[in-house]
Structure 1
Amino acid sequence: MSQRQVLQVFEQYQRARTSFVQTIAELSTRPQNIETLQNAGVMSLLRPLLLDVVPTIQQTAALALGRLANYNDNLAEAVVKGDILPQLVYSLAEQNRFYKKAAAFVLRAVAKHSPELAQAVVDCGALDALVISLEEFDPGVKEAAAWALGYIARHNGELSQAVVDAGAIPLLVLCIQEPEVALKRIAASALSDISKHSPELAQTVVDAGAIAHLSQMILNPDAKLKRQVFSALSQISKHSVDLAEMVVEAEIFPAVLTCLKDPDEYVKKNVATLIREITKHTPELSQLIVNAGGVAAVIDYIGDSRGNVRLPGIMMLGYVAAHSENLAMAVIVSKGVPQLAICLSEEPEDHIKAATAWALGQIGRHTPEHARAVAVANVLPRLLSLYMESESSEDLQVKAKKALKSILQKCTYLPALEPLLHEAPPNILKHVVGQFSKVLPHDSKARRLFVTSGGLRKIQEIKSEPGSVLQEYINSINNCYPEEIVRYYSPGYSDTLLERVDHYQPVM
């Protein structure tokens, strides 16, 4: 065999390897091929190609592995068991930028599925190699490394701490200052994933100067970047008063509020979540948001949204109202109650209805004026039905009951209470009747209306234990009327009158 023929054999072998690995990379983009590839032992065939002498074959093999590992946790576990990770980590330090991107992609694809798989990536020494990659000149390599670090950190506090200990945060903060929008997005996302687990982890992000750089991007035209920026600021704000104050001190208000009208649904939701996380901490932080026009803006946002997107806005109103009478009144004045009433009636999901019931309870629990504002929106019968419906989740039943009780304890607006006399179970009825017993002795107009509306008749029909609190309330109401009026509306009184007719002897 001539030298030329020998070389042809090697060329054919290289072409065959190239063709094989490119075909596998292409096939692995389609879910219907995955099981067949797995059954054919594709992992063991790709592994040696990671060490191929031809760089493009190495890179394409890594890309194919990443696509396969990304698909499900079984394939990701096969990458771990196939002892492929150490080779990838080694290559991150030694190979060219194309291979580095592909290797970081595989590490991310493995780490994303579970804490255990993410830990396997950490255990093979990937963190140091990924952090070094954040210092690469090529923005694509930095992006791939930041993405992998974020996927490791998102699972739990321990993995997030490992990312921090590897020195990732200062470099991620530098990445959000780079001109490439894609790199900014991924770095902000990684900072969000690190911050979410604990105040200590969030503090490390803050200490690296992240807030100032994130806050400068809140009005960036790129929607995907804004999603990640608001997510990161939310995750920082949620942990403590101090962290929330640091976010507010970056002077993001009132500019943030304009983003509640952003065309991107996720931007809007993340902004509402950020506002919720700030307002929940203290009356002072809530007041700052109110002063900036935040309550009215969130109420408009709730009106323009549906489903889970509404949820952080609904909860924000509840947190604001919970802090004080004045803040609850700010929600009322901005017409928050009618908007919450709409949510309570039209949202199908129990968890959203439960949050709405809770928010209404926080608004109505302060004074009779607050309770009346809630009651006139006709939400009390709806809360009662949600509490009593067997289809309601346990959480919804509990929230609806608590809201009802807290509003009823303050509500002196009797027209809104009367419908409950006919529907409420004894544990709620006691509170309803108790409010009538407070108001009727001091209001002659209310006493007359109570008779003409059928309320007094209903009171006489209630069966209660002698000496019970409910019976005492009923007695107190009955004492507001002449005895013959009470007797007239008592059950069986018409029969008594008919008996008297039967036994009456006409005067001739």
Structure 2
Amino acid sequence: MMSPYQFLQLFGHSADGVMSSLKPLLMDDVPAIQQTAALALGRLANYNHDLAEAVVKGNILPQLLCSLSDQNRSYKKTAAFVLRAVGKHSPQLAQELVRCGALEMLVICLEDFDPGVREAACWTLGCIAQHNSELSQAVVDAGTIPLLVLCIQEPGIALKRIAASTLSEISKHSTSLAQAVVDAGALTHLAQMIVHPDAKLKCQVLSALCQIGKHSLDLALLVAEERIFPFVFTFLKDSDNHVKKNGATLIKEIAKHSPELSHLIVSAGGVAAMIDYIGSCRGSIRLPGIMMLGVVAAHSENLAMAVIVSKGVPSLCACLLEESEDHIKAATVWALGQVGKHTPEHARAVATANVLPKLLKMHMDYSCSTDLQMKARKALKDILKKCTDLSALQPLLHDAPPSILKYIIEQFSKVLPHDRKARRLFVTSGALKKVQEIKAESGSPLQEYINAVNNCFPEDIVRYYSPGYPETVLERVENYQPASET
């Protein structure tokens, strides 16, 4: 298919020249010519940023808007398409639409009797609002939210979808913008539509609820009070991946705000549903589910134990093995750190799943992203500080760098003085010998922990497992003079 640039070059025209040729046609007395000219402008502007910028520089937008209120519905839809094609590319181009008075025209179109005109206006408003909070605030200040709320109540599915999407774009930027959507009464209508059978509408509604609830505890409570739980868990098994992902994201955004909201979700079966979810999918669609388990576990010991009891740790471990993207692995190791950081029991549940060697490997692997390395180190430290399962710690002695070794040896120094059986196993497994081989700076925390471990054993045993001891013994044998030689 020929691109707009290739088309222009074929006829030897520049973009500016074509814009100048089309501009007079927008004021033609024949409506069909006006509409065709506007459609051509929209298709050019839709192609890329440079052509959209040429439309703005050609001073075409004021002319497009000046007589819009008197035009037929087809022209209104085409004009909205041109504005959308220009405004979608960048905040600067969207700001030009605001400056030339496009919002006032779009508000008029939102009140039009034709659903197609209202749909086109909603879509364009969403393209303007998506860029930043300032543009979204301009959309709100134009008085659009009450009209958008009316649009989501219309019978037409397409209009409902676009209106819900635009409310989502407005809500995503700040607490005040989300609150403005709530104050207009949108929340109840959005919550009621999650039962709609249309997958695309459900996807947009879940996104809007998520963008409202993510900003603050108060807004999250308002979303939760619409009784979306546990019904929203059914979307985690939806056949549409976008619905599944948006449902998981909504649950995660609500759970993050407080232990009480997380407990509400856990009590309704949310953790078990989310574990099934991350086990049934692959790739980035898993990400909100992984993070939801992490934010729930982060709140308290009891909530972290709920993740453990529901077999969340093996599911997270499976994600580490099955995923290749570093950002997904980084989220997974973060979640495992949140589960294991609370008590020795929590740490044991993570350590016995053979997670610690994997975390150490990712921390030391320079082919991994910096974010993954840092998150692996943080998770490893948090788990090690609580782990008292020495059998899980001992394999790390052979590969861990000094920055990690100090946490491992510290745990040995806490457990060994009070556990006779552990001391025996510590010697027979070769761990005591390995500790003697560690080279630490004098006076460093690592050296202090090594000294504390050595104090748990008789001096001759420590000396026996110290490097060079066999040579010392042999030297003593060589230098020994029997009584018969004297």
Distance 2:373 2:8 in 1: 45
Residue 216 of structure 1 aligns to a residue whose secondary structure is: helix
Distance 2:309 2:329 in 1: 22
Distance 1:331 1:127 in 2: 48
The 10-residue stretch of structure 1 (238-247 or 382-391) with the greater mean CA deviation from structure 2: 382-391
Return the offset for 1:434: 0.4
Return the offset for 1:318: 1.1
Partner of residue 96, structure 2? 120
Q: Structure 2 matches for 1:428-467, cutoff 5 A? A: 428-467=404-443
Gaps of 5+ in 2: none
Partner of residue 468, structure 1? 444
Q: Structure 2 residue aligned with 1:411, among 382, 387, 405?
A: 387
- The alignment status of 1:172 with 2:152, answered yes or no, reads no
Return the offset for 1:164: 0.6
Partner of residue 14, structure 2? 39
Partner of residue 203, structure 2? 227
The 10-residue stretch of structure 1 (79-88 or 111-120) with the greater mean CA deviation from structure 2: 79-88
Cα displacement string for residues 369-428 of structure 1 (whole angstroms, at most 9, x for unaligned residues): 011111111111111121122222222222111111111110001111111111111111
Partner of residue 66, structure 1? 42
- The alignment status of 1:154 with 2:93, answered yes or no, reads no
Cα displacement string for residues 143-201 of structure 1 (whole angstroms, at most 9, x for unaligned residues): 00000011111111111111111110011111111111111111001000000111111
Structure 2 CA distance for partners of 1:32 and 1:343, relative to 1, 3 Å: farther
Q: Structure 1 residue aligned with 2:269, among 293, 316, 331?
A: 293
Q: Structure 2 matches for 1:184-333, cutoff 5 A? A: 184-333=160-309
The 10-residue stretch of structure 1 (50-59 or 75-84) with the greater mean CA deviation from structure 2: 50-59
Distance 2:74 2:267 in 1: 51
Distance 1:97 1:419 in 2: 73
Residue 197 of structure 1 aligns to a residue whose secondary structure is: coil
Distance 2:275 2:443 in 1: 46
Partner of residue 425, structure 1? 401
Structure 2 CA distance for partners of 1:497 and 1:27, relative to 1, 3 Å: closer
TM-score (norm 2): 0.95
Return the offset for 1:47: 1.7
Structure 2 CA distance for partners of 1:31 and 1:221, relative to 1, 3 Å: farther
Distance 1:184 1:471 in 2: 67
Distance 1:77 1:469 in 2: 62
Distance 2:249 2:437 in 1: 48
The 10-residue stretch of structure 1 (270-279 or 41-50) with the greater mean CA deviation from structure 2: 41-50
Distance 2:315 2:9 in 1: 50
Residue 257 of structure 2 aligns to a residue whose secondary structure is: coil
Residue 218 of structure 1 aligns to a residue whose secondary structure is: helix
AA paired with 2:210? Answer: S
Return the offset for 1:264: 1.4
Whether the 8 Å CA contact 1:256–1:271 is kept in 2: the answer is yes
- The alignment status of 1:135 with 2:111, answered yes or no, reads yes
Distance 1:66 1:453 in 2: 74
AA paired with 1:399? Answer: K
Structure 2 CA distance for partners of 1:301 and 1:36, relative to 1, 3 Å: farther
Return the offset for 1:504: 5.1
Q: Structure 2 matches for 1:393-412, cutoff 5 A? A: 393-412=369-388
AA paired with 2:138? Answer: A
Return the offset for 1:281: 0.5
Distance 2:102 2:10 in 1: 30
Q: RMSD over aligned Cα, in angstroms?
A: 1.8
Return the offset for 1:363: 1.0
Distance 1:33 1:377 in 2: 61
Distance 1:27 1:427 in 2: 59
Partner of residue 499, structure 1? 475
- The alignment status of 1:385 with 2:386, answered yes or no, reads no
Gaps of 5+ in 1: 1-25
- The alignment status of 1:364 with 2:340, answered yes or no, reads yes
Distance 2:361 2:64 in 1: 59
AA paired with 2:372? Answer: L
TM-score (norm 1): 0.91
Q: What percentage of aligned pairs have identical amino acids?
A: 73
Question: How many residue pairs get matched?
Answer: 482
The 10-residue stretch of structure 1 (476-485 or 216-225) with the greater mean CA deviation from structure 2: 476-485
AA paired with 1:126? Answer: A
Return the offset for 1:507: 8.8
AA paired with 1:469? Answer: P
Return the offset for 1:452: 2.0
AA paired with 2:152? Answer: I
Whether the 8 Å CA contact 1:91–1:99 is kept in 2: the answer is no
Distance 1:487 1:183 in 2: 81
AA paired with 1:155? Answer: H
Partner of residue 20, structure 1? none
Distance 1:328 1:98 in 2: 57
